[in-house]
Amino acid sequence: MTNPDTSNQQEQYNLVAKKFAERLVEFRAAAKQASSGVEKPAEALFPAFDRTGLGVAREFERMGNKPVSDELQSRADALGIEFEHIGLTLGTVLHGIDLKKTLPSELTKLVRDTLLARKVIFFRDQNLSEDEQVAFAREFGDLDAFPFGKPGSNPYILEIAHGPQSPGTENGWHTDVTWMEKPSLGSIAQCVSVPPYGGDTLFADSYAAYQGLPDDVADRLQHLHGINDYQIFLMGRGAGKLPDDIVDGLKQELPFGVSHPLLRTHPETGVTGLYIHGGFLRHDSLFDISSGEALSAEESKQLVAVLLKQHGRPEYTCRFKWQAGSIAFWDNRAAQHYAASDYFPHQRLLRRVTVSGDKPFYEPDQMG
């Protein structure tokens, strides 16, 4: 039975709500009339206190307000390739390609240009052997072997395997192998087995994430670098802490602690993106490359926390659901990724190959 007092309160509330809504509609209509003919820039449409959506809008505008250019689309059409875009500014499935076959050069170029335009691309139902996957990757450059994981029978394959005794650990936003002086340009991963639920990988647009930063944060980043190393691979994983002789030998062969900018100019597109790996970057290591001055540990850590949070905003992301035989090819210079660790104790197996890259740099003038 309804309480009469509550019922009266509800009626009173609804009267006020409806009256106020009518007044607001009138006010907004009048304001719209007064400003008719004046198109507001995107900056004025998004709230000043939250630039997330603006970052996406700016990036889409940079792309010509289209997922891909007309020129790229017409080349795809001519080659019989169908694009399935899964995000506004990143992520496209390419249908109509059999990667087991040697690709004609115009198709390889289309794949590369689509990667540059869309930051991460996907293929379904490929089921490549290890050697076929490596051969496909070689179409895009030299390859980087990976010293800290389990290789497949082909040494350029890294197995990313999780199951009942090893939950997924790639669930932090990152771009791959920033401990290298020349981090890999991109990674090509094929799914071999999927858990019954979950196990998706999320990708985030590093260009949009940069363009969506508050101005004061973007300004602060202009000359900042940080030191990256592979310390997390040396401790407490799998068989436990590595013996000193292995660690010492490794550090003599592979530089331990390399400096990279937090903003990176893409060497092929010229666009600026955020560039950070939260696991390899020493969070207290930020310094100004122009003056050589180090930030205080506190400011450095705070800034890193802001940047990692920025990349995780859902607006910048697309989400890929793996099937056995699916392939993802991501551009480490333009996107971050995050593998959801939500399927334990089930098994998930990916095989990854990485294409060699170049030394990250930042040239502010390349992008307006």
- Please give the residue ranges that form the binding site for Fe ion (CB under 5 A): 176
CB 152 within 8 A of CB 351: yes
What are the φ/ψ torsions at residue 66 (nearest 5 degrees)? -140, 150
Measured from the CB atom, the residue of 76 and 229 that comes closer to Fe ion is: 229
Query: 196: which 2 tokens?
Result: 């019954």
Query: 221: which 2 tokens?
Result: 């980043």
Measured from the CB atom, the residue of 176 and 331 that comes closer to Fe ion is: 176
Measured from the CB atom, the residue of 295 and 350 that comes closer to Fe ion is: 350
Q: What is residue 30's three-state secondary structure? A: helix
Query: 222: which 2 tokens?
Result: 């202009």
**Which of 160, 157, 171, 86 has its CA nearest to residue 123?**
86
Measured from the CB atom, the residue of 201 and 310 that comes closer to Fe ion is: 201
Angstrom CA distances, 125 to 39, 54, 95, 97, 99, stand at 46, 36, 10, 10, 10
Measured from the CB atom, the residue of 258 and 335 that comes closer to Fe ion is: 335
Residue 80 β-bridge partners:
none
Smallest distance from Fe ion to CB 122, Å: 16
Smallest distance from Fe ion to CB 179, Å: 12
Measured from the CB atom, the residue of 148 and 344 that comes closer to Fe ion is: 148
Smallest distance from Fe ion to CB 175, Å: 8
CB 92 within 8 A of CB 114: yes
Measured from the CB atom, the residue of 15 and 145 that comes closer to Fe ion is: 145
| Distance between CA atoms of residues 74 and 71, nearest Å | 5
| Distance between CA atoms of residues 309 and 52, nearest Å | 11
Q: Pairing state of beta strands 120-123 and 327-331?
A: antiparallel
Smallest distance from Fe ion to CB 91, Å: 16
Smallest distance from Fe ion to CB 329, Å: 13
What are the φ/ψ torsions at residue 204 (nearest 5 degrees)? -125, 140
Determine the residue with CB nearest Fe ion: 176
Smallest distance from Fe ion to CB 336, Å: 9
Smallest distance from Fe ion to CB 176, Å: 5
Q: What is the CA 2 to chain-centroid distance, rounded?
A: 53
Measured from the CB atom, the residue of 72 and 328 that comes closer to Fe ion is: 328
Measured from the CB atom, the residue of 187 and 211 that comes closer to Fe ion is: 187
Smallest distance from Fe ion to CB 232, Å: 12
Q: Which residues contact 177 (CB under 8 A, 6 or more apart)?
A: 144, 146, 183, 184, 277, 280, 332, 354
Q: Which residues contact 244 (CB under 8 A, 6 or more apart)?
A: none
Burial of 197 (0-12, 13-18, 19+ CB in 10 A): exposed
Smallest distance from Fe ion to CB 149, Å: 11
